[in-house]
Amino acid sequence: MLGIARTGIRVTLASVARGNGLRQLCSGGSGSYKNILVEKKGDKSQVGFVRLNRPKALNSLCDDLLRELNVAFREFDADPSVKAIVLTGSSKAFAAGADIKEMQPKTYSTVFGTNFINDWTEMLRIRKPIIAAVNGYALGGGCELAMMCDIIYAGDSAKFAQPEIRLGTIPGAGGTQRLPRAVGKSKAMEMCLTGDMITAKEAESAGLVSKVVPADKLEAAALDLAERISRMSLMAIYAAKESVNAAYEAPLSQGLLLERRLFHASFGTRDRSEGMSAFTEKRAAEFKDE
């Protein structure tokens, strides 16, 4: 047992840490996750695989689901055998947004007083890459959740939207901030002001999504990407993620300085030396995450 969630949900990872490949950690019932399914995948079980699993509510993002998701991400981030994470949903919905039924009775003083959905940002502290594999609807908070991941792959039937305006509200988990950075102001403004959906192809050409594949090939494609990333040095993975994220957060001069310093720092790692030696010796590099 590696952790106990703040909610008291017990997360048992030990059996999988000893396991050999595919193994479902939690599938509902007491003492396990109720809203997500968690496994390790990949030829060396090096990919943390999380599936949103509230099918009756199209994976809408209730408070409990977010708590469980944060626990699962933290556990994978701390697990030395895992080097990348895939987050997916079902064929019908990645996630249809924040849970509207849960939000409906809330008042201003409740949401402001509790800093409602602030815990969504916990996943931004995860250092390992998170790949969103989006099939079906990624709406509102579902689109925002995907955008908080590091890479988005989409099935060809995926649909993205920020429909909060149709509920008399606006995106609350980064939609008005990350979407313009991804697709530009005009398209983001149109999406946030109309709630209209865009297709996977449109999302790809706008820059929201890095690859579109047939829906039934999506999980395999995301897993393949995660496995390819997992072959790199974890030191370089951390540095690359941190540096690319700085392009989002910091002014160009600060981002460039951080990038230069992380580049310099990589010269202190064993894996940088191994990577360059392997190249000059015309052999495959053997990274040890050191």
Residues that bind ligand CAA (CB under 6 A): 57-58, 60, 96-101, 117, 137, 139-141, 144, 163-164, 167, 171-173, 175
Is 144 an annotated catalytic residue? yes
**Residue 146 CB, nearest distance to ligand CAA (Å)?**
12
Q: Which of 39, 68, 75, 164 is catalytic?
A: 164
Q: Which of 72, 93, 98, 246 is catalytic?
A: 98
Is 141 an annotated catalytic residue? yes
Compare residues 101 and 264 and give the one whose CB is closer to ligand CAA. Answer: 101
CA distance 250 to 144: 20
CA distance 239 to 135: 29
**Residue 6 CB, nearest distance to ligand CAA (Å)?**
20
Residue identified by tokens 């530009």 is: 184
Compare residues 135 and 230 and give the one whose CB is closer to ligand CAA. Answer: 135
SS3 readout for the chain: CCEECCCCCEECCHHHHCCCCCEEEECCCCCCCCCEEEEEECCCCCEEEEEECCHHHCCCECHHHHHHHHHHHHHHHHCCCCCEEEEECCCCEEECCECHHHHCCCCHHHHHHCCCCHHHHHHHHCCCCEEEEECCEEECHHHHHHHHCCEEEEECCCEEECHHHHHCCCCCCCHHHHHHHHHCHHHHHHHHHHCCCEEHHHHHHHCCCCEEECHHHHHHHHHHHHHHHHCCCHHHHHHHHHHHHHHHHCCHHHHHHHHHHHHHHHCCCHHHHHHHHHHHCCCCCCCCCC
**Residue 277 CB, nearest distance to ligand CAA (Å)?**
48
Compare residues 47 and 58 and give the one whose CB is closer to ligand CAA. Answer: 58
Compare residues 182 and 232 and give the one whose CB is closer to ligand CAA. Answer: 182
Compare residues 75 and 99 and give the one whose CB is closer to ligand CAA. Answer: 99
**Residue 256 CB, nearest distance to ligand CAA (Å)?**
32
Q: Which of 39, 68, 75, 144 is catalytic?
A: 144
**Residue 26 CB, nearest distance to ligand CAA (Å)?**
22
Compare residues 143 and 240 and give the one whose CB is closer to ligand CAA. Answer: 143
Phi/psi of residue 106, nearest 5 degrees: -70, 150
**Residue 161 CB, nearest distance to ligand CAA (Å)?**
8
Give the catalytic positions in this structure.
Answer: 98, 141, 144, 164
